[in-house]
């Protein structure tokens, strides 16, 4: 059986590159995309090549970045634009295959095994053509990795931070990939790397030759999986993408939203306002996915030392109602939190898991009001429809208006889109 031909395409310095393309005056300059210091999320989210060359790093504070690069131009994030450019890039990929799997907004795997003969049969020429099309049609550059599996394809694109094309083949992977640090491979994070280092495993090649006993004892079932990755034995497929949805058909395991508050939350009314805003976003996305949840969790971080906690509860009847998500989240906080200045909160997140389809049969609560639940669900869906037409702030609950600063937030619209997990 012939090997698969998989490419991993990564749009370089994506957020900053989009900003430079939208505003040509920024081209060739040190640009950073950052949060708003007034909202206490003023950190570097992305930087241009010029800013990177000056030493600017992702996740550092704006003031730290400006110490390294006094001429740094800081622009706010524009997630609407990022989504648009991401979709346009994927439309290009569709021209070569229907097997397109996103990994966040700026990365995608594509499988051209079956379609390659239609484009001349040379994978490197197809990769170059895709690269040139993204550059000419979108004004962005991409790095492309080509291999017979997804892990090595991503390793190839990660190796070249510019707009190059790297092929990792069965002939060269031992010489190319195995000498690299194990931390360069997907799913080998700092904690995993520390465990490997403590046992004398430093490179991808070391991991490829690790013993079963060590891997299972230190990492459990993920250990042998990482060794298989290092050996090029990843067989996970590139999932078929639905162009109409601009997304892959994957199983949603949880939906969450978190926010660093614009000011410390010192009283219950402030906490409640943010919890309801977050719950609105989470429940609306839950209904959009045609799902209900069985588990609701809330996390909080104290302002005094940035430590925190998380708690969860399981509901008797699956729900997608905003009021249920908010009320259960607030109940968890009330049971674990003192609302005063000494215990002020800096950040809160709300998350729902243990999801079931909305069309799945539901055992009603013997002591509940099933008709009222149906009525509230229809009301929430009607409000969702209004928000789709007129924006997420067209309908607000009174509880969300108790804080003048937070009432102006559109958490769902401005929610950062995080990469989709490789393992699902």
Average pLDDT over residues 186-203: 91
Exactly one of 101, 107, 280, 400 is catalytic; name it.
107
The predicted-structure confidence for 223-272, as pLDDT tens digits, reads as follows: 999 999 999 999 999 987 666 554 544 556 788 988 888 788 999 998 99
242 is in an annotated binding site: no
- Does some domain include residue 181? no
- Does some domain include residue 132? no
- Does some domain include residue 321? yes
Residue 401 reports pLDDT greater than 80? no
Range of the domain at 312: 252-408
- Does some domain include residue 209? no
CA 419-423-424 angle, 5° bins: 95
- Does some domain include residue 389? yes
- Does some domain include residue 329? yes
Average pLDDT over residues 266-290: 91
Phi, psi angle pair for 100, to nearest 5°: -130, 120
Model confidence at 43, pLDDT cuts 50, 70, 90, reads confident
Dihedral (Cα; 20, 26, 31, 36), 10-degree rounding: -80
The Cα–Cα gap between 89 and 143 comes to: 13
10 is in an annotated binding site: yes
The predicted-structure confidence for 97-137, as pLDDT tens digits, reads as follows: 999 999 888 999 999 999 999 999 999 999 999 999 999 99
CATH code of residue 334: 3.30.1490.100
Domain total in the chain: 1
Whether 268 is catalytic is: no
- Does some domain include residue 244? no
State percent of the chain over pLDDT 90: 61
Average pLDDT over residues 325-342: 94
- Does some domain include residue 279? yes
């Amino acid at each position: 059986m012939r090997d698969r031909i998989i490419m991993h395409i990564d749009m370089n310095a994506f957020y900053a590159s989009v900003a430079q393309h939208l505003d040509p005056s920024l081209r060739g300059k040190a640009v950073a995309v950052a949060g708003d210091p007034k909202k206490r999320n003023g950190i570097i989210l992305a930087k241009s090549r010029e800013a990177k060359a000056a030493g600017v790093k992702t996740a550092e504070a704006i003031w730290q970045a400006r110490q390294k690069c006094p001429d740094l131009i800081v622009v706010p994030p524009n997630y609407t634009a990022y989504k648009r450019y991401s979709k346009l890039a994927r439309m290009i990929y569709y021209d070569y295959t229907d097997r397109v799997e996103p990994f966040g907004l700026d990365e995608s795997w594509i499988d051209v095994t079956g379609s390659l003969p239609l484009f001349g049969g040379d994978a490197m020429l197809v990769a170059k053509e895709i690269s040139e099309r993204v550059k000419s049609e979108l004004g962005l550059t991409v790095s492309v990795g080509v291999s017979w599996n997804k892990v090595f394809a991503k390793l190839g694109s990660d190796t070249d931070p510019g707009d190059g094309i790297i092929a990792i083949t069965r002939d060269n992977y031992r010489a190319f990939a195995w000498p690299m640090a194990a931390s360069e491979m997907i799913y080998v994070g700092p904690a995993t790397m520390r465990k490997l280092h403590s046992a004398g495993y430093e490179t991808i090649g070391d991991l490829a030759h690790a013993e079963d006993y060590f891997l299972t004892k230190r990492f459990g079932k993920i250990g042998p999986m990482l060794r298989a990755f290092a050996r090029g034995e990843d067989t996970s497929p590139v999932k078929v993408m639905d162009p109409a949805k601009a997304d892959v058909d994957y199983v949603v395991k949880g939906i969450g939203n978190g926010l660093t508050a614009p000011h410390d939350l010192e009283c219950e009314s402030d906490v409640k306002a943010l919890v309801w805003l977050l719950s609105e976003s989470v429940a609306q996305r839950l209904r959009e996915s045609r799902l209900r949840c069985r588990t609701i969790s809330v996390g909080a971080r104290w302002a005094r030392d940035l430590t925190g906690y998380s708690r969860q509860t399981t509901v008797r009847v699956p729900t997608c109602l905003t009021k249920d998500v908010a009320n259960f989240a607030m109940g968890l906080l009330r049971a674990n939190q003192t609302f005063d200045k000494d215990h002020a909160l800096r950040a809160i997140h709300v998350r729902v898991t243990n999801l079931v389809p909305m069309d799945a049969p539901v055992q009603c609560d013997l002591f509940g009001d099933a008709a009222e639940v149906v009525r509230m669900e229809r009301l929430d869906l009607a409000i969702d429809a209004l928000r789709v037409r007129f924006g997420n702030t067209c309908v607000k609950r009174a509880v969300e208006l108790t804080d003048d600063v937070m009432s102006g937030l559109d958490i769902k619209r401005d929610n950062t889109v995080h990469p989709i997990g490789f393992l699902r």
